[in-house]
Structure 1
Amino acid sequence: MFRSGPWWKGLGASASGSPRRNSILAIATAAALLATGLSFLTPWKLVEARAFDYLSTIAPPTRPGDGPVIVAIDEPSLAEIGLQWPWPRDLHAKLIEALRRAGAKAIGVDIIFAEPSSPAADEALAAALGPDVVLAGDETFIETDHAAQHVRVEPLAMLAATGARTGIASIAPDGDGILRRVPGYRDGFAAQLAEIAGRPAAVPANALIQTFGPSRTYPTVSYYQALDPDNFLPENYFRDRIVMVGLSLQNAPTLSEGGADVHATSFTIRTGRLVAGVEIQATIFDNLAGRLFIGRADAATAMLFVVLGASAGAILVWRQTGWRTLAGFVIAAGALLAGSYLLLRFGRIFAPPLAPTLAMGLVAGAQSARDFAAERRMRQGITRAFSQYLSPALVERLARDPSQLRLGGEVRALTILFCDIRGFTTIAEGMKGDPERLTTLINRLLTPLSEVVMAHGGTIDKYIGDCLMAFWNAPLDDPDHATHAVEAALGMMQALDDLNGELRAEAEARGETPIALRIGIGINTGHCVVGNVGSERRFDYSALGDAVNLASRLEGASKELGVPLVVGQATADQVSERIQLRKLREITVKGRAEPVTVYAPTALD
């Protein structure tokens, strides 16, 4: 097998071997580091938080049945009670006493009583309070140019002195305004209520809230109904239940409308509706009491996911890239997303899928771009190398599918054509004083002859002075190579007639004797070695073998036989059903001991 030239060596370098593996490993490492670095940036964290919103609200778990009941300060209550807000505190005292009589286990009032009202009303509320009640407090972080401080707002001292607890009801939304984090207050409103209810729970650090549905997911009754549960509610409705009291309108406001004590949660992205603060406190209660909150993956776990993503990308492009790479990426990205969801739903750990997907995409995209560039260079190289041998259509076909190109040398059945100008020595002698005219004449002849060859799918091997060599069935497969070669030869004869007509007309116009060009063609079919032949610096795509030599001898014999086209026996056997031939005779050619039977197309008779 022939050793290919320098250009061919680069063709397979990007497709396989150690350089490709090293390149992919380097890209995978860089992609993993980049994706990990991005995960520490605030904008990226907000994108991952949005992914949490979607994943945590896909088939969320059912709300615990023993969770809080909400007593809502809502539109019907405002209409039924008929008092202007804020309502007098002795009315809240009546509500607490009614709930206690109805058997409520613990009562949380999500209203801040930080300022005095009428003394009688404050005293009435204080008298109704007790250790089964939690009152809302607030804590605000204020940062100024000179200092930063926490401002804590608590109920009146006279209310706190009754044994009622104070729970911080403050919540901290993320940078995009959506509440996702469990408040870290040890004395939080929901945490205090859980402790009173006999379900104490440690407050997790940096945990995420598992929501259970949109606004009004929790069982809710109007404030006026809770004031008189015997007449408005089923029997024992509040028996052994945790009750939370707060503002909760029946028509939940939208993001654009806003409102008092309403907040965006993970479910807001699906419904567009805000959730009342008291219902958020109920959700936090169930997250703490039932340990339903979702933890964040630690740095090591998140990095492991990123490495898995980068590794998946490397596997996708390990051998090659193409449409399968895209399909594999979609499947692998779906697997990462599904894995993140399953871990969140059943393991209660949120491992963001975006950074691993990004790492995988970076690896697949970068290597695909490298392969595309390499393929483009290869196509350009093929176009440059074969444009002088093949027709533009065949070059384009070869560039689109380089797999049809066999590198190096190979044995193939070819049909070889040799064409030589008859009487060239005499013509050259007559034009020795005008070499430019001679060159122009030869080029005018070889150009149409070459175009005919390429139009019939032939490969031009070389020009040897006034001789043209071409072959069929390499580098592209051509099952009818023998027929196409003979048809090309007939086309060359017609092109010669056309050129002679042009030369005759030109000579007559100048008043000169016209030159009549004649050619001889020999065609033979047989197995040859075809490939790049030459040196490391210069090579040609050529064919070698006994069948080539015989085609050259047949071209030489055409002069002695008195015909312009001679076809060998092997070629005649393949074209006889499509092209009519007549047997000439048996001839003996140089280099062969046995005679050869030759033919000529009857079309030339």
Structure 2
Amino acid sequence: MSPPVENSKIGSITVLPESPEGWTLDLATGDVLAIGRKPGAGDKRRLVLPFPEVSGQHAEIRCHDDGWKLVDNGSTNGTSLNGARLTPGREYVLHSGDKVKIAQYEILVAPPFNASRDGDEDRDEQDKTQFRIHLINATILVGDIVGFTGLMETYAAEPEKVMRAQKNIFDALNEEIHKHYGQLEKIAGDAIMAYWSGDDSKEGAALQAYQACLTALSMRQVTQRLSKEPNFWPFKGHPLVVDIALATGPVAAGTLGAAGGGQAITGDTANIVFRLEKLITEEHAGEIWVDGVTYELARERFKFKYVNQFSVKGRQKPVDVHELVS
């Protein structure tokens, strides 16, 4: 740890601020906080984030007397500040309330004072206009509320009632995603999409598939519970059922600066998971279907049942599909 600076001011960071498992770390002027899976020793403070997507020497927070600065050390999967992916090696000024995202970890920043934002103008303009894209390995989850279109038609005179229930359900499902270290990609109409990404090792891929499968099972439990609570789902005759599909593979992840918010993902794996979800018929409503890659990565930790081989539009080879049972 760096020796305290005379008249140094104390600030703090909070890791996972919205989780009961979160914790707070105080930092003083002169400190350098090394963040990573295996951050270096020496005079630096250390914050260990033991997740495969986090690089060994991922990033640093430098507590200067004129303000706090964040630097990505050329990490594999990147660091984001308020939704914008950082340029490696460049210092970014931190302000109170800023949110740093490293893999599944969110870090809320509270410096002892707010530095001037004047020097951030160039950075803001760059972040708003620069499109960044990189390849990651991910397990993608897509959930879809069964019969939602018909529900909207039935309650056409009360659209706010349907939209309120939809928001309540997706808020609850997103909480499960966050709890299991997933990243929400988007909510579109009656569908929710999230993903887990890790390193290129077999262990990293297995861990992300495990977290995604665990989340899918938790989402099903939450859905079943909420369907019995009229305050959440006040539609008699329209049971609350969510079809869920999972697929694992390489995707392209891109962020359109600060204006684009979080990462958007695209590619063959995203195509497969959406096609897979659409294959779930009425007789299989509420089931969780996974592709062959996810099955191979998670089969030793969960119970699966083989469904069938399906031809998926855009792919030459059929896809083996398994149901995640428990």
**What is the TM-score normalised by the length of structure 2?**
0.60
Q: Give the unaligned 5+ runs of structure 2.
A: 1-29, 34-39, 45-61, 71-91, 111-130
- Cα distance change of structure 1 residues 379 and 478 upon mapping to structure 2, 3 Å threshold: farther
Distance apart, 1:538 and its partner CA:
3.7
State the alpha-carbon separation in 1 of the partners of residues 292 and 138 from structure 2.
14
> Mean Cα displacement is larger for which, 366-375 or 451-460?
366-375
* Structure 2 residue corresponding to 1:583, chosen from 296, 306, 315: 306
Q: Give the unaligned 5+ runs of structure 1.
A: 1-319, 329-365, 400-406
- What secondary structure does 1:527 align onto? strand
- Cα distance change of structure 1 residues 397 and 516 upon mapping to structure 2, 3 Å threshold: same
1:544 equivalent in structure 2: 266
- Cα distance change of structure 1 residues 465 and 474 upon mapping to structure 2, 3 Å threshold: farther
- Cα distance change of structure 1 residues 525 and 421 upon mapping to structure 2, 3 Å threshold: same
* Structure 2 residue corresponding to 1:525, chosen from 229, 248, 258: 248
1:539-564, Cα deviation, whole Å (9 max, x unpaired): 54121111111011111112267252
State the alpha-carbon separation in 1 of the partners of residues 278 and 147 from structure 2.
12
1:447 equivalent in structure 2: 171
Q: Does residue 571 of the first structure (1) align with residue 267 of the second (2)?
A: no
Q: How does 1:82-481 map to 2 (within 5 A)?
A: 322=32, 368-370=64-66, 372=68, 377=94, 380-383=97-100, 394-396=105-107, 408-473=132-197, 480-481=207-208
- Cα distance change of structure 1 residues 478 and 589 upon mapping to structure 2, 3 Å threshold: closer
Distance apart, 1:531 and its partner CA:
3.1
- Cα distance change of structure 1 residues 539 and 444 upon mapping to structure 2, 3 Å threshold: closer
- What secondary structure does 1:461 align onto? strand
- Cα distance change of structure 1 residues 396 and 535 upon mapping to structure 2, 3 Å threshold: closer
State the alpha-carbon separation in 1 of the partners of residues 168 and 94 from structure 2.
34
2:324 equivalent in structure 1: 601
State the alpha-carbon separation in 2 of the partners of residues 504 and 448 from structure 1.
13
Letter in 2 for 1:382: K
Asked if 1 retains the 8 angstrom alpha-carbon contact of 2:98 and 2:109, the reply is no
Letter in 1 for 2:244: I
1:501 equivalent in structure 2: 228
Q: Does residue 559 of the first structure (1) align with residue 269 of the second (2)?
A: no
Asked if 1 retains the 8 angstrom alpha-carbon contact of 2:216 and 2:244, the reply is yes
State the alpha-carbon separation in 1 of the partners of residues 246 and 215 from structure 2.
11
Letter in 2 for 1:469: M
1:376-425, Cα deviation, whole Å (9 max, x unpaired): 61784434xx69x96xxx212999xxxxxxx9432111000011111111
Distance apart, 1:537 and its partner CA:
4.2
State the alpha-carbon separation in 2 of the partners of residues 582 and 379 from structure 1.
49
Letter in 2 for 1:544: T
- What secondary structure does 1:473 align onto? strand
Asked if 2 retains the 8 angstrom alpha-carbon contact of 1:554 and 1:566, the reply is yes
State the alpha-carbon separation in 2 of the partners of residues 550 and 415 from structure 1.
11
Letter in 1 for 2:155: M
**What is the TM-score normalised by the length of structure 1?**
0.34
Q: Does residue 486 of the first structure (1) align with residue 222 of the second (2)?
A: no
1:155 equivalent in structure 2: none
Asked if 2 retains the 8 angstrom alpha-carbon contact of 1:587 and 1:595, the reply is yes
- What secondary structure does 1:409 align onto? strand
Letter in 2 for 1:556: K
The CA RMSD measured in Å over matched residues stands at 3.7
- What secondary structure does 1:503 align onto? coil
- What secondary structure does 1:597 align onto? strand
Asked if 2 retains the 8 angstrom alpha-carbon contact of 1:418 and 1:523, the reply is yes
Asked if 2 retains the 8 angstrom alpha-carbon contact of 1:503 and 1:515, the reply is no
Asked if 2 retains the 8 angstrom alpha-carbon contact of 1:520 and 1:559, the reply is no
State the alpha-carbon separation in 1 of the partners of residues 214 and 269 from structure 2.
19
State the alpha-carbon separation in 1 of the partners of residues 232 and 253 from structure 2.
42
1:60-92, Cα deviation, whole Å (9 max, x unpaired): xxxxxxxxxxxxxxxxxxxxxxxxxxxxxxxxx
State the alpha-carbon separation in 2 of the partners of residues 398 and 488 from structure 1.
28
Asked if 2 retains the 8 angstrom alpha-carbon contact of 1:504 and 1:515, the reply is no
User: Number of aligned pairs?
Assistant: 228
State the alpha-carbon separation in 2 of the partners of residues 429 and 579 from structure 1.
38
Deviation >4 Å, runs of 4+: 373-376, 504-507
2:89 equivalent in structure 1: none
Letter in 2 for 1:322: V
State the alpha-carbon separation in 2 of the partners of residues 398 and 566 from structure 1.
39
Relative to its length, the structure with more helix (as a share) is 1
Distance apart, 1:505 and its partner CA:
9.9
1:178-225, Cα deviation, whole Å (9 max, x unpaired): xxxxxxxxxxxxxxxxxxxxxxxxxxxxxxxxxxxxxxxxxxxxxxxx
Larger radius of gyration: 1
State the alpha-carbon separation in 2 of the partners of residues 513 and 535 from structure 1.
44
2:8 equivalent in structure 1: none
- Cα distance change of structure 1 residues 495 and 327 upon mapping to structure 2, 3 Å threshold: closer
Asked if 2 retains the 8 angstrom alpha-carbon contact of 1:569 and 1:597, the reply is yes
Distance apart, 1:321 and its partner CA:
7.2
Asked if 2 retains the 8 angstrom alpha-carbon contact of 1:473 and 1:479, the reply is no
* Structure 1 residue corresponding to 2:238, chosen from 491, 515, 519: 515
- What secondary structure does 1:577 align onto? coil
- What secondary structure does 2:107 align onto? helix
State the alpha-carbon separation in 1 of the partners of residues 232 and 166 from structure 2.
18
- What secondary structure does 2:99 align onto? helix
State the alpha-carbon separation in 1 of the partners of residues 109 and 213 from structure 2.
23
